[in-house]
Amino acid sequence: MAEFLSPLLNLFPEGMRAIVLILIQIMLVVMPLVIAVAYTTYAERKIIGYMQVRIGPNRVGPIGLFQPFADVFKLMFKEIIIPSAANKFIFFTAPVVILFAALVAWAVVPFDDGWVIADVNAGLLYVLAVGAAGVYGVILAGWASNSKYALLGGLRSAAHKIAYELAMGFALVGVLMASQSLNLQEIVRAQSGSILHWYWLPLLPMFVVYFISGVAETNRAPFDIAEGESEIVAGFHVEYSGMGFVLFMLAEYASMILISALTAVMFLGGWLSPFQGTFLEPVFAWIPGIFWMFAKIAILLFLFIWFRATFPRYRYDQIMRLGWKVLIPVTLVWIVVEGVAVYFKLGPWFA
């Protein structure tokens, strides 16, 4: 990436070039991400609309395409209401914390071979650690609002995120064992071969567990008890209006896209073409790898939206039972199975 930016970089003094290059890379990731978030909200409303035999937004722009911008402008000009007994500092810090956690993990996500901001050796651990920090935004928002509903939402979210983080971590141990690396680029390279070499097949239970935990981590239906509107109104962000609410929405959709991207990288071969190893490979060789990456992210995002349209919300104890008594044992069993397979070099995946 540094090559075609070199004329621009030469404008800056020698010592600043590295920082400017990093800033440009960050902008190249964050700006498309914000646009993607806007259109994910639109896609969600449209898809759920058609699933419920409605049309969905169709007034602003052709087939409602400018609806997300209308929503953002509406929310930006809304009055920001601060509850009188709220802790103001934490009340405004919480959305920033949650957005920080949703954006920072993108630093290690590879979009194509070598297209990554930071090629970190311990990338998998980094992703887990940053994801773990995201829960603070929800808890602090719940506490600082000084509202019963918000506090309940924050507490629920704290308990269920810890349960699902464990399952997520164990699923990633499976990926680590199969690829022998914590570097996300190495993980993708280890999956090359064909669509059957991608880890969704040898690690099928891990793939399912990881994606379910991902849905739970992002507080999406059917695991959205933190905001369950039928019992606690809107949970942790019930007191937020205007820009604070926008930040929560932005973080929710950004982390949805992040979970989809990570699932694509770890289980669906990242930027690798699905036709690799077949007679169709030369036919589709002209398509850049980033297209396949985006296509996989889009399919997984569609699953997120599909889940929301299909499943009723889990009850609190059911969520806990699923996390602790189903998902974690499944991953533990599969780690043992995988260990045996790796030890005996079971082909074609662990050879």
The DSSP line for 97-157 is: HHHHHHHHGGGG--SSTT--S---TTHHHHHHHHHHHTHHHHHHHHHHTT-HHHHHHHHHH
Return the residue of 36, 139, 247, 254 that touches other proteins, per CB under 8 A: 139
Per CB under 8 A, does 154 bind other proteins? yes
Minimum CB–partner distance for residue 248 and other proteins (Å): 18
Tokens read off for 78 = 């809304």
Query: Contact with other proteins (CB under 8 A): which of 21, 151, 232, 265?
Result: 151
Distance CA 81, CA 92 (A): 11
Helices then strands, counting H and E runs in the chain, come out as 14, 0
**Nearest residue to 274 via CA among 345, 350, 192, 213:** 192
121 binds other proteins, rule: CB under 8 A: yes
CB of 40 to other proteins, least distance (A): 26
- Tokens 């209006």 belong to 241
Residue 122 is a binding residue for other proteins (CB under 8 A): yes
Per-residue DSSP letter, 79: P
Work out which of 126, 199, 207, 292 binds other proteins, going by CB under 8 A.
126
Minimum separation from the CB atom of position 346 to other proteins (A) = 22
Distances, alpha carbon 8 to alpha carbons 4, 14, 31, 114, 263, in Å? 8, 12, 19, 21, 35
Judged by CB under 8 A, which of 29, 70, 159, 335 binds other proteins? 159
Asked whether position 143 contacts other proteins by CB under 8 A, the answer is yes
Cβ nearer to other proteins, comparing 67 with 331: 331
Tell me how far, at minimum, the Cβ of 95 lies from other proteins, in Å.
16
Decide whether 19 or 76 has the Cβ nearer to other proteins: 19
Query: Binding to other proteins by residue 284, rule CB under 8 A?
Result: no
Give yes or no for a contact between 237 and 141, defined as CB atoms under 8 angstroms apart.
Answer: yes
Nearer to other proteins, 98 or 139 (CB): 139
Q: Between 6 and 121, whose beta carbon lies closer to other proteins?
A: 121
With binding defined as CB under 8 A, does residue 136 bind other proteins? yes
One residue of 128, 173, 309, 335 binding other proteins per CB under 8 A = 128
Q: In angstroms, what is the minimal distance from the CB of 132 to other proteins?
A: 2
Residue ranges in 309-348 that form contacts with other proteins under rule CB under 8 A: 317, 321
Phi-psi region of 273 (alpha: psi -120 to 50; beta: other; left: phi over 0): beta
Per the CB < 8 A criterion, the answer to whether 280 and 59 are in contact is: no
Confirm if 126 and 182 have CB atoms less than 8 A apart. Answer: no
> Is residue 85 helix, strand or coil?
coil
Q: Which residues bind other proteins (CB under 8 A)?
A: 90, 120-122, 125-126, 128-129, 131-133, 135-136, 139-140, 142-143, 151, 154-155, 158-159, 161-162, 165, 182, 317, 321
